[in-house]
A and B are shown apart, each in its own frame.
Chain A
Amino acid sequence: MKADAFDGRRMPERPRHGLAGYRSRRLWDAATGVGVYLRTMVVFLLVWQAAALWIGNPILLPTPVDVAESFVELAGTGEMITNIVVSVTRLVASFLLAAVIAVPLGFAMGLNRTVFEMIDPTVELLRPISGIAWIPLGLFILGIGDALPTAIMFYGAFFPLLINTITAVRSVDRSYLNAARTLGVGRATVLLQVIIPAALPGILVGARLAAGAGWMSMVAAELIGAPSGLGFAVEWYRELLMTPKVLAFVVLIGLMGYLFDRVLRAVQRSLTRWAEPRNA
């Protein structure tokens, strides 16, 4: 009931030293976490450096120092920013488009049996065909340009969103629906105030899977059939045998994928504050 009782319940293994002690304890934990992280990464970079020096061929394996220099250079010329903007624009556009179509469709399919029976078989027929398998046909229809990566990413993101929305809507606990109905509210209220919030966590899980799947198919599509974007840049510098720049863009692709997931996690947390926090 009291604030400290609540804290005690969430962190049962920690003795209570009052708020100040608790804060400094958390700070210490975070600091050692960063320490361990840095230690691992430093060891990794040293091993890489040693391996690169031993191989002695910067086209096969450049040193981390070379890669870092390329990274800075690319950032300085604006080439990196241009490609990031291109890729992220595609990513956001196709992700939003997929969400706008898949989520309402998922609700319709989750709520109405007839709609589900009509659409589900087609979904199940298309779903196993990965977005990447559409690239050759897409190249033919859309040509090399902006449209192909956007379309492939849309396709990659669509199914995780749809399937997770259907499951989330269907698994809304009946007792919440019963509770709302016995309070005498109408169907619109049940949808807005009960089904949508109850399904939200599942839909957000779907959104994160969709972003991951979409990002992967988009890099592939850019690599094969686009004149711009991060995937294109990687392949471009491989053909020029400028491996440090290849690696700089590979690092960037990892970084962007990570950041996008972080953003979605933050959205997830802020939208589902009411959910019981898992014991960390």
Chain B
Amino acid sequence: MTRVISSSLLRAAVLPVGLLVLWQLVVMFGTPSRRAPMPTHVVEAAWALIGSGDLPLALIQSFGRVLAGFAWAAALALVLGALMGTYRAVDRSLDPLVESFRSIAPIALLPLAILWFGTGTPAAAFIVGYAAFFPMIVNTIHGVKSVDPQLIRAARTLGVDRLTILRTVVLPGALPYIFVGARLALGVAWTSIIAAELAVGAKAGGGGTGGIGQMMFVFYAYSVDLNGIIVCMISVGVVALVIDRGLRRLEQWMLPWKR
């Protein structure tokens, strides 16, 4: 049994470790450039960036924007989604708008956001919220619609009023879908905050608005620190992973009847 585990662990490690070693060796012996990043320098850069507090601060700033954007988008999407899922007339009237706006890549709206809100947090929160809104509303509508009408009829015959039905039947039934929507929404929100901050940096000439995307742009454009860029990329990945796993945990805890 232990041998099975260790051999599969070995198989898992071969490729990543091999790639890292290859990368290190190629840069050490194969390239003349002093700037070329390599694993040992990346670790050093990570250490320095964490130690100085710059990296944690940037991540917190970006994550704060994600939460701000997600909050308004989720609130709007839940209300509209519940209405569209419940009333056919509302659904038919609003669906064309949702479908039309959904296919616009959120980043394409960044230039507009900069025009409207400047280069600070509101513009970023707008883009993030726009990105998060659609997965959220689509899944909410789907969740509310998928509640078995038989259950609602059963509750009605038991003499329960509408609001209680919404609270005790519709919401728990739709919740699994809403969670899926929230996980997707936070995922794309985190992706778009990076894009937004990068683009703000690239197009508004840097500035002190902060955030992890901004930090990457500064490394790219001013200090030309490729090791720093890779540290940022890795931390972007780690935060994405934490968001995903965290929401899965929350889901398991809040929906114990699922699986």
User: Taking the complex as a whole, does A directly touch B, i.e. does some CB pair lie under 8 Å apart?
Assistant: yes
Could you list which residues of chain A lie within 8 angstroms of chain B, going by C-beta atoms?
A: 36-37, 39-41, 44, 59-60, 114, 117-122, 125-130, 132-137, 139-140, 215-216, 219-220, 223-225, 230-231, 234-235, 237-239, 241, 243, 246-247, 249-251, 253-255, 257-258, 261
B96 with A37: CB separation less than 8 A: yes
A117 with B108: CB separation less than 8 A: no
The residue on B at minimum CB distance from A44 is B97
Give CA–CA (A4, B72) in the complex, Å: 50
Given the known inter-chain contacts A118-B15, A130-B194, A130-B240, please indicate yes or no for A250 contacting B220, CB distance below 8 A.
Answer: no
The residue on A at minimum CB distance from B239 is A128
Q: Is B13 close to A, CB under 8 A?
A: yes
A246 with B111: CB separation less than 8 A: yes
Q: Is B241 close to A, CB under 8 A?
A: yes
A121 with B104: CB separation less than 8 A: no
B105 with A257: CB separation less than 8 A: yes
Q: Chain B residues near A253 (CB, 8 Å)?
A: 104-105, 108
Given the known inter-chain contacts A224-B202, A254-B101, please indicate yes or no for A136 contacting B219, CB distance below 8 A.
Answer: yes
B220 with A223: CB separation less than 8 A: no
Would you list 15 pairs from A and B whose C-beta atoms are within 8 A, ordered by A residue?
A36-B93, A60-B115, A118-B15, A133-B236, A216-B105, A219-B107, A220-B195, A224-B199, A224-B202, A225-B202, A235-B111, A235-B203, A246-B112, A250-B109, A257-B105
The residue on A at minimum CB distance from B190 is A130
B96 with A40: CB separation less than 8 A: yes
A114 with B11: CB separation less than 8 A: yes
Given the known inter-chain contacts A135-B198, A234-B111, please indicate yes or no for A125 contacting B219, CB distance below 8 A.
Answer: no
Kindly provide the distance from the CB of A160 to the nearest chain B CB, expressed in whole angstroms: 12
Q: Is B244 close to A, CB under 8 A?
A: yes
Give CA–CA (A41, B237) in the complex, Å: 39
Give CA–CA (A41, B191) in the complex, Å: 30
The residue on B at minimum CB distance from A38 is B96
Q: Is B217 close to A, CB under 8 A?
A: yes
A41 with B12: CB separation less than 8 A: no
A243 with B115: CB separation less than 8 A: yes
Q: Is B232 close to A, CB under 8 A?
A: yes
Q: Is B230 close to A, CB under 8 A?
A: yes
Q: Is B52 close to A, CB under 8 A?
A: no
Q: Chain B residues near A223 (CB, 8 Å)?
A: 107-108, 110-111, 199, 203
Q: Chain A residues near B219 (CB, 8 Å)?
A: 136
B96 with A220: CB separation less than 8 A: no
Q: Chain A residues near B110 (CB, 8 Å)?
A: 223
From B13, B95, B99, B236, A121 is in contact (CB under 8 Å) with B13
Kindly provide the distance from the CB of B192 to the nearest chain A CB, expressed in whole angstroms: 8
A128 with B104: CB separation less than 8 A: no
Give CA–CA (A254, B104) in the complex, Å: 4
Q: Chain A residues near B191 (CB, 8 Å)?
A: 130, 132, 216
A134 with B233: CB separation less than 8 A: yes
Give CA–CA (A251, B96) in the complex, Å: 14
Interface residues of B in 197-231 (CB under 8 A from A): 198-199, 202-203, 216-217, 219-220, 226, 229-230
Kindly provide the distance from the CB of A7 to the nearest chain B CB, expressed in whole angstroms: 24
A128 with B198: CB separation less than 8 A: no
A40 with B103: CB separation less than 8 A: no
The residue on A at minimum CB distance from B191 is A130
Kindly provide the distance from the CB of A118 to the nearest chain B CB, expressed in whole angstroms: 5
From A136, A220, A237, A251, B220 is in contact (CB under 8 Å) with A136
Q: Chain A residues near B107 (CB, 8 Å)?
A: 216, 219-220, 223, 231
The residue on B at minimum CB distance from A129 is B237
B96 with A136: CB separation less than 8 A: no
Given the known inter-chain contacts A129-B240, A133-B237, A137-B226, please indicate yes or no for A238 contacting B114, CB distance below 8 A.
Answer: yes
Give CA–CA (A235, B203) in the complex, Å: 8
Give CA–CA (A140, B216) in the complex, Å: 12
Kindly provide the distance from the CB of A5 to the nearest chain B CB, expressed in whole angstroms: 26
Kindly provide the distance from the CB of B131 to the nearest chain A CB, expressed in whole angstroms: 8
A129 with B15: CB separation less than 8 A: no
Q: Chain B residues near A114 (CB, 8 Å)?
A: 11
Interface-central residue, A120, A132, A230, A231, by most chain B CB under 10 Å: A132
Give CA–CA (A39, B16) in the complex, Å: 56
From A39, A219, A243, B108 is in contact (CB under 8 Å) with A219
A239 with B104: CB separation less than 8 A: no
Q: Chain B residues near A120 (CB, 8 Å)?
A: 12
A261 with B103: CB separation less than 8 A: yes
From A132, A140, A235, B198 is in contact (CB under 8 Å) with A132
Interface-central residue, A41, A60, A219, A246, by most chain B CB under 10 Å: A219
